[in-house]
Amino acid sequence: MKTKNDSGIARRVLSSIAVVSCCLAAAIPLAAEPAPPAASFTLAPGSRLSLEGESTLHAYKSTATKVEATADFDGTFAAGSPDARAAVAAGALMGLRVAVPVADLKSGEGGLDKNMQKALKQDAAPVIRFTLVDYKAEEAKDGSLLVKAHGRLAIAGVEKDTVVEAACRFGPGGVEVTGAKDVLMSDYGIKPPVMMLGTIKTADKVVVRFALKLKAADATATKKPQGRETP
């Protein structure tokens, strides 16, 4: 026969069990919601990038025969769609990486190419890289989207903050990004190349010109940057 004391003990035990159960439930985190899908764009055929400079003999131009680039966005959409334009304007570009192998810069003059590769310290720093940090976008008068990108530019083993301005145009085939950036070789510890025993000297300033075409990457490309040979 149960006494009133036994009933009180039972109620206290059940109450304790209920409190412990509530604490355990609160301590177990809810399953995290899946992250929203992200769009990844890679370089398309027809992209161009070159270095242009002056020398005491004539102007020269070294064209990249290979460029690697990937861009990642917060959201999924076609590269040339209105949604992509709106996303860039709203700050949804999460990452942009551009890489140019030094060995693939060709001017058509073997001597200049060799001296340029030496000046750019190809053996120690075989790739020129730009990595986006952040950016601002605004509408341009010509209908394009003007992007001012703040990033890190690595040349010849030296990495510096830089700002690159580019015009973005969105079409059925993707996004075309065009612009130019003045670079002083001396800022990166580079001695401008010379030829013919020093009788031909190149100027310190070079202009990097680019017209990059980005297209939506497939499922595998979102995991690994894709490089494409430029024509």
Q: What is the pLDDT along the chain (231 residues), one digit of tens a residue?
A: 555 555 554 455 445 444 444 443 444 444 444 444 466 788 998 999 999 999 888 899 999 999 999 988 887 766 667 788 888 999 999 999 999 999 999 999 888 899 899 999 999 999 999 999 999 999 999 989 999 999 999 999 999 999 999 999 988 878 899 999 999 999 999 998 887 777 788 899 999 999 999 887 753 333 334 444 444
Cα(97)–Cα(227) distance, integer angstroms? 11
Q: Which residues contact 180 (CB under 8 A, 6 or more apart)?
A: 207, 208, 209, 210
Specify which residues 132 forms β-bridges with: 151
Question: How remote is the C-alpha of 199 from its chain's centroid?
Answer: 39
- The token duo for 193 is 């190349």
Q: Given this model, what pLDDT does residue 149 score?
A: 97
Tell me the HSE value of 190 on the side-chain side, using a 13 A CA sphere: 29
Structure-token match 């580019």, residue found:
166
CB 215 within 8 A of CB 143: no
* Token pair of 207 as six digits: 């202009």
Q: Who's near 99: CB < 8 A, 6+ residues apart?
A: 67, 68, 69, 127, 128, 129, 130, 225, 227
Closest C-alpha among 175, 169, 135, 176 to residue 152 = 135
Per DSSP, the three-state class of 206 is: strand
Indicate the Cα dihedral angle 69, 74, 76, 82, nearest 10°. Answer: -90
Q: What is the pTM of this model?
A: 0.75
Pairing relation of β-strands 145-155 and 60-64?
A: unpaired
Give me the residue label for tokens 């192998």. 101
Identify which of 42, 100, 97, 107 has the alpha carbon closest to the alpha carbon of residue 66: 100
The pLDDT value recorded for residue 19 is: 47
For domain 37-229, the CATH class is mainly beta
Q: How far apart, in Å, are the Cα atoms of 171 and each of 9, 93, 201?
A: 76, 17, 42
Nearest to 49 by CA among 174, 177, 175, 212: 212
User: Cα–chain-centroid distance for residue 60?
Assistant: 28
Other C-beta atoms lying within 10 Å of the C-beta of residue 155: 25
Collapsed DSSP state (helix, strand, coil) of residue 3: coil
